[in-house]
Amino acid sequence: NVFFFSTILAIIGEKRIIVQLPPDSTVWDLKLEIARIYPKSDQAIRTMLTSLDQVISNDEEILKDQAKVAFFPFVSGG
The per-residue pLDDT for range 57-78, each reduced to its tens digit, is: 999 999 999 999 999 887 755 5
Q: Is the pLDDT of residue 9 over 80?
A: yes
Could you read off the pLDDT of 13-28 as tens digits, one per residue? 999 999 999 999 999 9
Q: Supply the pLDDT for residue 73.
A: 85
CB atoms within 10 A of CB 30: 22
In whole angstroms, what is the distance from residue 48 CA to residue 32 CA? Answer: 12
Percent of the chain with pLDDT over 90: 87
Residues in the chain: 78
In whole angstroms, what is the distance from residue 17 CA to residue 37 CA? Answer: 11
pTM of the model: 0.91
